[in-house]
Structures are given as C-alpha cells and as structure tokens.
C-alpha cells in the first residue's frame, strides 16, 4: 500500500510538472513567434468565402450585400482567395505596387525613355517648379530646400526595385522578395512617396501640354476643372500632400495613378454590387497593351488583393 501511495504521488507530481512545462513551452513558442514574425503589410492568401464569413456575420442589409458580392467574385469571376492589405492611408498605393512587383511587370514606356531619377531636379532647374519645396512626405510633413534630394532618393529606390523585380522570371522568388520588401516600413514609404511624385510629375507634364493647346486625356480635364486642383500646385497642396497622412487615394487619384504607371487598375467595388459601378477601370481610357492588375474594395477607401484560380 505504501508503494502504491508513493507511485500515485510521483505520477501526480510528474503530471503537474508536465502541465507546467507544456504551459511554459506554449508561452515561449507564442512569444518567439510574435517576436520574429515578419510585419507583413500584405498578408498571405486566405480563402475568400472563409474571410467573408468571418468579416460579414449577421443579417444587416450591408452584411447580406457583402456576402452576395463575395459569392459573385467566387463563382463568376473565379476569385478563390484574398490577400489583406494593411489599412492605412497608403493602402491603395501599396496594393497597386505589390501587384506590379509580384507580377514582374515592366517599367512604363515613358520611364524607359527618361531617367526618372533626375526628374526632381529637372522640375526645379528646367521648369522652375520651386514650389515643390512645399511637398509633404505623408505623416512626416517634410518640407524645405532638401525636398528635391529626398525625392530623388525615393525615385531612385523605386526605379531600382522595379527594374530588379521585372528582371526575375521565377514567380516564387519574386513572391519571397515581395514578402521581404513589404515587411520593411522605411523602404515601403519611400516607394509610396516616389509613386506620389510620379503622379505629380505627370500632372505637371499634362498641364504644360494643355497650356500649349495640345489634346490631353479627359481625366486631366476633369482634374483641372476642380477648384481645388486647377493646376499642379493646387493639386499638390490640396490633395497629394495629404495622401499617406490623413487620407488615401480618391477615385480621381486612382485614374492618375493608372495613367502614370501605364496599368489598367481593375477594381471590384463590393458596395456597388448589382450596379454598373461594381466593376470599374482606372483609368477608363487606357491602351489595350497596358497590363491589368486587380483590386477589391468594400468602401472605396481601403483595398485588398484578389487571387484568381490558376
């Protein structure tokens, strides 16, 4: 009896020790995963309908509309997965750039003809655009005479990264490189500011063409017809400077972005399901040979990346 009691006590002690060690191991495992997990701003693929079921529960009219819209994407458009994008005021730029780099798309034709790294100085010295000193780098609100040097570094990074990604034929390798790039905040934000500057450069170029009575795309006529963006300076001060800080891209900005990068940005606007605006292109006037990238949005403010069935 004494031996049995001793054995029972030993087993009870071992069980308690096992539970304690299991608890500590689980805690350390979670801690290490949190500590070393990459802070990806574009998350891994998840099942589209599973994501919808988690995000849109309940029986409100909006929840029902969203579930129908996601089912439409799944069954009719063959979109099986979704990559969630970090929801800050850069997310439209992030979604577009991620698609461009992950697909290995080439630089736009006009970027191949010009050295885009020299564009900031070109605008200052050749075109007298010293007002660009008021350019604001998102939440950083950096302004002053060194703006041109800072912009040059951003554009140089964009050109080098885009050129490198477009030269890689292995899709798996591009994917791994994207995961590394889109987990580095400082590099990311420089790329987004470079995209903003590219948009501004295109607005300036088209504005100058309009002054010389050359035909300009209708999207720029729309831009310049607004009181808050009647010229490049007002566009920068009233719109572009706030992108990344207090607001994201508006629809007119999406048009300019697509035109500047020579890509057809196809967007599924889920809140517009069952209307003619459910599926739109930015810009509407695009060249047939431009590559197409696809995004989806639930509210026209934040964007995610749909993944089509291969």
Secondary structure (DSSP) of 213-247: T----HHHHHHHHSGGGSSHHHHHHHTGGGBTTTB
- Domains of the chain with CATH codes: 42-84+265-309 (3.30.200.60), 88-262 (no CATH)
Mean pLDDT of the chain: 89
pLDDT over 60 (residue 34): no
Mean pLDDT of 93-97: 98
The tens digit of pLDDT for each residue in 258-274 reads 999 999 999 999 999 99
The tens digit of pLDDT for each residue in 222-240 reads 999 999 999 999 999 999 9
> What is the reported pTM?
0.86
């Amino acid at each position: 009896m004494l031996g049995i009691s001793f054995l029972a006590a030993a087993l009870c002690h071992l069980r308690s020790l096992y539970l304690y060690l299991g608890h500590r191991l689980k805690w350390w495992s979670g801690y290490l995963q949190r500590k070393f997990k990459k802070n990806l701003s574009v998350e891994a693929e998840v099942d589209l309908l599973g994501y919808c079921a988690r995000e849109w529960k309940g029986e409100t009219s909006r929840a029902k509309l969203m579930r129908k819209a996601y089912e439409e994407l799944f069954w009719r458009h063959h979109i099986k997965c979704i990559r969630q994008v970090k929801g800050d005021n850069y997310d439209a730029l992030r979604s577009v750039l991620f698609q461009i780099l992950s697909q290995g798309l080439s630089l736009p034709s006009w970027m191949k003809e010009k050295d885009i790294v020299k564009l900031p100085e070109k605008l200052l010295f050749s075109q007298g655009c010293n007002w660009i000193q008021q350019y604001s780098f998102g939440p950083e609100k950096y302004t002053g005479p060194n703006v041109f040097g800072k912009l040059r570094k951003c554009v140089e990074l964009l050109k080098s990264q885009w050129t490198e990604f477009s030269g890689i034929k292995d899709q798996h390798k591009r994917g791994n490189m994207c995961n590394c790039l889109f987990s580095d905040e400082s590099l990311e934000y420089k790329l987004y500011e470079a995209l903003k500057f590219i948009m501004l450069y295109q607005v300036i170029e088209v504005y100058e063409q309009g002054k010389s009575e050359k035909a300009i795309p209708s999207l720029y006529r729309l831009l310049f017809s607004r009181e808050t963006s009647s010229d490049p300076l007002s566009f920068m001060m009233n719109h572009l400077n706030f992108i990344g800080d207090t607001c994201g891209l508006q629809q007119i900005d999406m048009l300019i972005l697509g035109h500047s990068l020579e890509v057809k940005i196809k967007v599924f606007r889920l809140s517009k399901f069952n209307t003619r605006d459910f599926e739109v292109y930015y810009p509407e006037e695009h060249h047939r040979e431009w590559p197409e990238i696809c995004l989806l949005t639930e509210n026209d403010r934040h964007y995610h990346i749909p993944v089509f069935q291969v």
